[in-house]
Amino acid sequence: MAILTREQAMQIIDKVLSYSKADEMEVSIFGGRTGNIRYARNTVNTSGETNEIRLSVNSVFGKKVGSSSTSELDDESLKKVVARAEEIAKLAPENPEYMPMLGPQTYPAAATFSAATDKIDPEFRAKLAGDSIEVSSVGDLTAAGYLEDFSGFVATGNSKGLFGYNTSTSVDFSITVRTTDGTGSGYATRDFNDVNLLNSKDVTSIAMQKAQASANAQAIEPGKYTVILEPTAAGDLLGLLTRGFDARSADEGRSFMSKKGGGTRLGEKLFDERVTITSDPTNTEIPTSPWDGDGLPRQKTTWVENGVVKNLAYSRYWAEKQGVPPLSSPGRGGYIFAGGNESIADMIKSTERGVLVTRFWYIRAVDPQTLLFTGLTRDGTFYIENGQIKFPVKNFRFNESPIIMLNNIESMGKPQRVGGDLIPAMKIRDFTFTSLSDAV
Amino acid sequence: MKRRDFIHLSGMGLGALATSGLVMMGNPVSAEQLLIPGMDPAAKKVLADIALNAAKSKGATYTDVRIGRYLRQNVSTREKNVQNISNSETFGVGIRVIANGTWGFSATSDVTPDGIKSCAETAVAIAKANSKLQKEPVVLAPVSGHGEVTWNTPIQKNAMEIPVKDKIDLLLNVNNSAMDNGAAFVNSALFIINEQKYFASTDGSYIDQDIHRIWPTFSVTAVNKGAGGFRSRQALSAPMGMGYEYMDGLEKDKMMNPAGFNSYKNSYDMVEDAVNAAKHATEKISAKSVIPGKYDLVLDPDHLGLTIHESVGHPLELDRVLGYEANYAGTSFATLDKWKSGDFKYGSDKVNIVADKIQPYSLGNTGYDDEGVKCKEWDLIKDGILVNYQAIRDQVQILGENESNGCAFADNWSSVQFQRMPNVSLRPGKEKLSPADMIKNVEKGIYILGRGSYSIDQQRYNFQFGGQLFYEIKDGEITGMLEDVAYQSNTQEFWNSCSQICDEDDYRFFGSFNDGKGQPSQSSAVSHGSSTTRFDGVNVINTGRNI
């Protein structure tokens, strides 16, 4: 098994540190198992499992950094990896943005590991795929799905006394069910740390219902519509926004967070007052790693409160340059979007004319100044009239900015986990669909 | 949290390790180690035979073995700073078998007789286990053994041999040149790949290949803080299947385009392009916003390549057509019934699109694919009619053929090979025609260069493309720069609006260095050749917004 205990990892890291001749040295060990199973056309077509462990060393002379790594953990290999990192560092150009290593840190406990996920084996994956295929093979449906699971650890330490250790598991499952005549398609996805929370049959059923309900979609004119975005669809767009909460690009004048005339839009009200975005590494639904890429402990942070931008992320380098404390972003996953209490059924009931969206697809940036994105609806798009779903509609291409979208909120649902974030269903007015697609 | 995010935390933000995957990116090594020759082909043959025999003794009816050494060098800079230099190596073996009519695959970094034997046995065990779920046995198109053969990318200068210092000097010169001409920020990078691949199979092939690719690129940003605007212009280079000679920037490879600056053919002047980019980025901030409507588009090869990639390359992958990618990339509008009809009008009669893995300098150029099939060229669209797909050994019988197209690829020794896009290119026009002459006949149009925003639906009908540079054409003349331009169309409608293609003198490559497909995702590199081409009456939207 590739997972070392905290003590085993610490022992190895201390040994490696004792070999160092550099000004500063950092050692990290990553180990884990990744497994997957993929099926399509109602049959399994790929499955695999990889076990790996790797020890990485960063050696620093002045502001020159060299990296090396090895999968062999015997003394000879460890000495070699240190010598190689030091040799590379001596030859490297100076990195003017290099920040001296951090001393000891206190990291919050993270509930990122699940013993059940750790126990996943090829039989479990095959059963999950088999169950899903069995459920969806009923009638004129074809299933294609993918499960990926991970269980592993990371340990890190440096010559200034920092040490961190964490174990983590994850499971990601997605399924597309299509009608065999190719006129309907449905999708559902779930991600968890704990596989016990994953009910693959239920997820499969959702995709099946959407496939059947979306068959023989009708065309309606593109234009501005009130949309009800299921959490997966809302997450597709909100994730694009949080990537931009970076102080450096805002200060440099090349972000939607840049202020006309210089500076950032920190403190400005950019969104509807119901918009509050936070992150909390100890949240039990979306636990995240206790430290960030800079080695700093993750903190509970409010990014947007009642529509006002409260914080931007500062790397250690940029924070020092700007004379402010560093603040790490949660990265991919870890954002909590405050929602409301309205159910999707209630949202539909109160909609005179609108479109229900399951998910978006092939989203690409069009203009980074306004955060305009384009993409398409996919796998279940429905027309709503007078409080009821009337019929499935052909997919639309949209051109929309999440900033504009978050100023057009009608109502929101209870947040649920989507791609590691907590995202509510959202009802948005005046969402811009610019053309129709024949794709199913 | 997914594995890749977890890995990100293991390096604390220093150097290449912080963001690299594990097996894929390999172990960091010194630049000198990239030049050490790999294992001798004779030694690889001995190991390969161990795998072939071990698999056979466990019941495999077919086996292929890929012993691969993958070397990468990335150098990246920002303004006056070197951000990262990464040299990496990964070495291992992937073994694929058929047992009980079912595929099995296993890979190991333990490239020893024992390691390989055990890996081959695991592959057979996996095949047998999976065979319980198999509905129809695998059918492989025949391929004759090639014996012991070699193939090398025809390079003049091995880019790995060029000192890292020279590369840094070049990139910092690029950055300085852009900043001297008005750029506020520049990121520049050089990506170099050498794949040393050995393939052996029970068909009697022992193929040793040495494959090289290179990609110089940059992004130049101009900022107007007062007015609150910024614009970027990316490099107009193409990733190529070449050595460092691509960086020579020879005069013979420069082509003055109708907008009045140089485009590049088979060698690239990175500093000159950076100077132009800085001027362009500044000009873009105050360029006229496009009036939406129908325009005739004149598309430069460095732009059109991506449109070809998305609207022709992907929909004609047979595995997509059959539904194997349904849960991820999607399926395809180009269904088998359309192909069987023999009269599906994909494009106008000017449109001839060819697939190949043999064009010199292209990213797809290889002697043999990852199933040991000799690479070739074949038609996909002939005189506008859909005539074929991209298919590999276990697919071609679906098309009633018995010869693979030779486009199987695995991105690493640890990945299983599957059908990947070969080069997909638009043949040049037969009549003499330059881009300047083409523009003379356009009344209301836009000349578009460079790769911009791109999005297409999961069956490849509806797409929207941006670009790097847009020039308004009025009554046969370029009148100035436009901004906020994107065109939306439908694949079949778009290719049927193709009215003119420049001749072979204008033929150039666009490339995609990291094309993703599959779950778990694999990356491949592919070129798209074309000459400047005209499309009539395409819908252009304005992408400007106020926030």
Please write the tens of the pLDDT for every residue from A64-114.
Answer: 999 988 888 999 999 999 998 999 899 889 999 999 999 999 998 889 999
Judge: A437–B461 Cβ closer than 8 Å, yes or no: yes
Return the pLDDT at B24.
Answer: 43
Answer with the one of A144, A177, A212 that is the final residue of a domain: A212
Question: What are residue B225's DSSP bridge partners?
Answer: none
Asked whether residue A159 is domain-assigned, the answer is yes
Task: Give every CB contact of residue B2 below 8 A, 6+ residues apart in sequence.
Answer: A148, A150, A170, A172, A332, A420
* Closest CA–CA distance from residue B489 to any residue of chain A (Å): 9
Answer with the one of B147, B181, B213 that is the final residue of a domain: B213
Judge: A146–B460 Cβ closer than 8 Å, yes or no: no
* Closest CA–CA distance from residue B452 to any residue of chain A (Å): 8
Judge: A193–B1 Cβ closer than 8 Å, yes or no: yes
Stretch (H or E) spanning B283:
helix B270-285
Indicate which CATH number applies to the domain containing B86. Answer: 3.30.2290.10
User: What confidence tens digit (pLDDT) does each residue in A271-322 have?
Assistant: 999 999 999 998 999 998 899 888 999 999 999 999 999 999 999 999 999 9
Asked whether residue B353 is domain-assigned, the answer is yes
- With cut-offs at 50, 70 and 90, classify the pLDDT of residue A126: confident
Q: Which residues of chain B make contact with A46, given a CB cutoff of 8 A?
A: 416, 519
Judge: B109–A365 Cβ closer than 8 Å, yes or no: no
How large a percentage of chain A has pLDDT more than 90?
83
Closest residue in A to B520 (Cα–Cα): A36
Torsion angle, alpha carbons of A330, A331, A332, A337, to 10: 40
Within 10 A of B150 (CB to CB), how many other CB atoms are there? 12
Residues A14 and A152 in one domain: yes
Closest residue in A to B490 (Cα–Cα): A437
Asked whether residue B270 is domain-assigned, the answer is no
Residues B310 and B192 in one domain: no
Residues B179 and B317 in one domain: no
Asked whether residue B370 is domain-assigned, the answer is yes
Residues A376 and A287 in one domain: yes
Judge: A58–B17 Cβ closer than 8 Å, yes or no: yes
- Which among A84, A126, A361 is the nearest to B30, CB-wise? A84
Return the pLDDT at B20.
Answer: 30
Q: ipTM above 0.85?
A: yes
As a whole number of Å, the CA-based R_g of chain A is 24
Task: Give every CB contact of residue B545 below 8 A, 6+ residues apart in sequence.
Answer: A367, A370, A372, A401, A404
Please return the burial class of A258, using the count of CB atoms within 10 Å of its CB with bins 0-12, 13-18 and 19+: buried
Q: Which residues of chain A make contact with B327, given a CB cutoff of 8 A?
A: 38, 40, 144-146, 174-176, 187
Closest residue in A to B23 (Cα–Cα): A52
Asked whether residue B396 is domain-assigned, the answer is yes
Instruction: Check: CB of residue B28 under 8 Å from CB of residue A88.
Output: yes
* Closest CA–CA distance from residue B450 to any residue of chain A (Å): 14
DSSP for B213-267, please give it. EEEEEEEEEEEETTTTEEEEEE-----BS--GGGGG--GGGEEE-TTSSEEESSS
Judge: A292–B9 Cβ closer than 8 Å, yes or no: yes
Residues B70 and B171 in one domain: yes
Return the pLDDT at B22.
Answer: 37
- With cut-offs at 50, 70 and 90, classify the pLDDT of residue A42: confident
- With cut-offs at 50, 70 and 90, classify the pLDDT of residue A123: confident
Q: Which of A66, A132, A60, A143 is nearest to A99 (CA)?
A: A60
Residues B95 and B200 in one domain: yes
Instruction: Check: CB of residue B292 under 8 Å from CB of residue B476.
Output: no
- With cut-offs at 50, 70 and 90, classify the pLDDT of residue B7: very low
d(CA B476, CA B457): 34
DSSP for B5-48, please give it. HHHHTTTTT-TGGGT--STTT-EE--GGGGGS----HHHHHHHH
Q: Which of A53, A49, A52 is nearest to A8 (CA)?
A: A53
Answer with the one of B162, B186, B213 that is the final residue of a domain: B213
Answer with the one of A151, A181, A212 that is the final residue of a domain: A212
From A239-248, B144-153, B326-335, B479-488, the region with the lowest mean pLDDT: A239-248
Asked whether residue B247 is domain-assigned, the answer is no
Residues A142 and A260 in one domain: no
d(CA A131, CA B391): 31
Asked whether residue A1 is domain-assigned, the answer is no
* Closest CA–CA distance from residue A352 to any residue of chain B (Å): 27
Instruction: Check: CB of residue A95 under 8 Å from CB of residue B42.
Output: no
DSSP for B181-209, please give it. TT-SEEEEEEEEEEEEEEEEETTTEEEEE
Residues A330 and A293 in one domain: yes
Q: Which residues of chain A make contact with B226, given a CB cutoff of 8 A?
A: 260-262
Length, in residues, of chain A = 440
User: What are the two backbone dihedrals, phi and then psi, of residue B334, each rounded to the nearest 5 degrees?
Assistant: -85, 65
**Terminal-to-terminal C-alpha distance of chain B:** 32
Closest residue in B to A178 (Cα–Cα): B326
Return the pLDDT at B406.
Answer: 98
- What is the identity of the amino acid at B225? K
Residues A272 and A383 in one domain: yes
Asked whether residue A81 is domain-assigned, the answer is yes
Residues B192 and B54 in one domain: yes
**Does residue B17 surpass a pLDDT of 80?**
no
Asked whether residue A141 is domain-assigned, the answer is yes
Residues A253 and A326 in one domain: yes
Instruction: Check: CB of residue A86 under 8 Å from CB of residue A62.
Output: no
Instruction: Check: CB of residue B208 under 8 Å from CB of residue B41.
Output: yes
- Which among A47, A69, A156 is the nearest to B12, CB-wise? A156
DSSP structural state of residue A101: P
Within 10 A of A137 (CB to CB), how many other CB atoms are there? 14
Q: Which residues of chain B make contact with A401, given a CB cutoff of 8 A?
A: 545, 547
Instruction: Check: CB of residue B275 under 8 Å from CB of residue B178.
Output: yes
Return the pLDDT at B150.
Answer: 98
Residues B183 and B319 in one domain: no
User: What confidence tens digit (pLDDT) does each residue in A345-372 have?
Assistant: 999 999 999 999 999 999 999 999 999 9
Judge: B105–A178 Cβ closer than 8 Å, yes or no: no
Judge: B14–A438 Cβ closer than 8 Å, yes or no: no
The CA–CA distances, whole Å, from B335 to A47, A341, B323, B459 equal: 27, 44, 10, 10
Residues A272 and A380 in one domain: yes
Instruction: Check: CB of residue B178 under 8 Å from CB of residue B220.
Output: yes
Mean pLDDT, chain A, rounded, equals 94
Return the pLDDT at B129.
Answer: 83
Residues A246 and A194 in one domain: no
User: What confidence tens digit (pLDDT) does each residue in B452-478 have?
Assistant: 999 999 999 999 999 999 999 999 999
Instruction: Check: CB of residue B393 under 8 Å from CB of residue B141.
Output: yes
Answer with the one of A162, A183, A212 that is the final residue of a domain: A212
Judge: B327–A401 Cβ closer than 8 Å, yes or no: no
d(CA B544, CA B474): 22
Closest residue in A to B12 (Cα–Cα): A293
Residues B499 and B389 in one domain: yes
d(CA B218, CA B60): 49
* Closest CA–CA distance from residue B270 to any residue of chain A (Å): 22
Answer with the one of B213, B229, B262 that is the final residue of a domain: B213
Residues B195 and B330 in one domain: no
Instruction: Check: CB of residue B263 under 8 Å from CB of residue B447.
Output: no
Return the pLDDT at B32.
Answer: 81
Full residue range of the structural domain in which residue B404 is found: 293-542
The CA–CA distances, whole Å, from A319 to A24, A255, A291, A327, B12 equal: 21, 17, 17, 8, 17
Closest residue in B to A133 (Cα–Cα): B133
* Closest CA–CA distance from residue A276 to any residue of chain B (Å): 19
- Among A36, A56, A270, the strongest candidate for a mutation testing the B interface, having the largest count of B CBs within 10 A, is A56
Judge: B1–A294 Cβ closer than 8 Å, yes or no: no
Judge: A154–B9 Cβ closer than 8 Å, yes or no: yes
Question: What are residue A90's DSSP bridge partners?
Answer: none
Residues A235 and A348 in one domain: yes
**Does residue A155 surpass a pLDDT of 90?**
yes
Asked whether residue A29 is domain-assigned, the answer is yes
Q: Which residues of chain A make contact with B541, given a CB cutoff of 8 A?
A: 399, 434
Query: Three-state SS for A116?
Result: helix
Judge: B27–A399 Cβ closer than 8 Å, yes or no: no
β-strand pairing of A421-423 with B293-299: unpaired
Asked whether residue B271 is domain-assigned, the answer is no
d(CA B280, CA A50): 47
Residues B421 and B511 in one domain: yes
DSSP for B367-428, please give it. SB-TTSPBP-EEEEEETTEE---B--TTTGGGGT-SS--S-EE-SSTTS--EE---EEEEPP
Full residue range of the structural domain in which residue A127 is found: 6-212
Number of domains in chain B: 2
- With cut-offs at 50, 70 and 90, classify the pLDDT of residue A333: confident
Q: Which residue has the tokens 């003379």?
A: B440
Closest residue in A to B80 (Cα–Cα): A96
Judge: B459–A96 Cβ closer than 8 Å, yes or no: no
Q: Which of B313, B344, B340, B345 is nearest to B329 (CA)?
A: B313
**Does residue B235 surpass a pLDDT of 50?**
yes
**Does residue B195 surpass a pLDDT of 50?**
yes
**Does residue B18 surpass a pLDDT of 80?**
no
Residues A194 and A256 in one domain: no
Mean pLDDT, chain B, rounded, equals 93
Asked whether residue B286 is domain-assigned, the answer is no
Instruction: Check: CB of residue B225 under 8 Å from CB of residue B137.
Output: no
Q: How far is CA A425 from the centre of its chain?
A: 17
Residues A31 and A178 in one domain: yes
Return the pLDDT at B448.
Answer: 98
**Does residue B109 surpass a pLDDT of 90?**
no
Helix residue ranges, H only, A42-121: 75-91, 115-118
Q: Which residues of chain A make contact with B466, given a CB cutoff of 8 A?
A: 366
- What is the identity of the amino acid at A117? T
d(CA B245, CA B222): 30
- Among B23, B119, B451, B462, the strongest candidate for a mutation testing the A interface, having the largest count of A CBs within 10 A, is B462
* Closest CA–CA distance from residue A387 to any residue of chain B (Å): 29
Asked whether residue B258 is domain-assigned, the answer is no
User: What confidence tens digit (pLDDT) does each residue in B349-363 have?
Assistant: 999 999 999 999 999
* Helices and strands, counts by H and E, chain B: 10, 28
Residues A208 and A239 in one domain: no
Average pLDDT score over residue span A5-27? 97
CA angle A364, A366, A370 (to 5 degrees): 120
Indicate which CATH number applies to the domain containing A183. Answer: 3.30.2290.10
* Entry pTM: 0.94
d(CA A322, CA B515): 38
3-state helix vs strand vs coil in chain A, percent to 5: 25, 40, 35
Number of domains in chain A: 2
**Does residue B504 surpass a pLDDT of 50?**
yes
Question: What are residue A186's DSSP bridge partners?
Answer: A177
Return the pLDDT at A50.
Answer: 79
Query: Three-state SS for B486?
Result: strand
**Does residue B28 surpass a pLDDT of 80?**
no
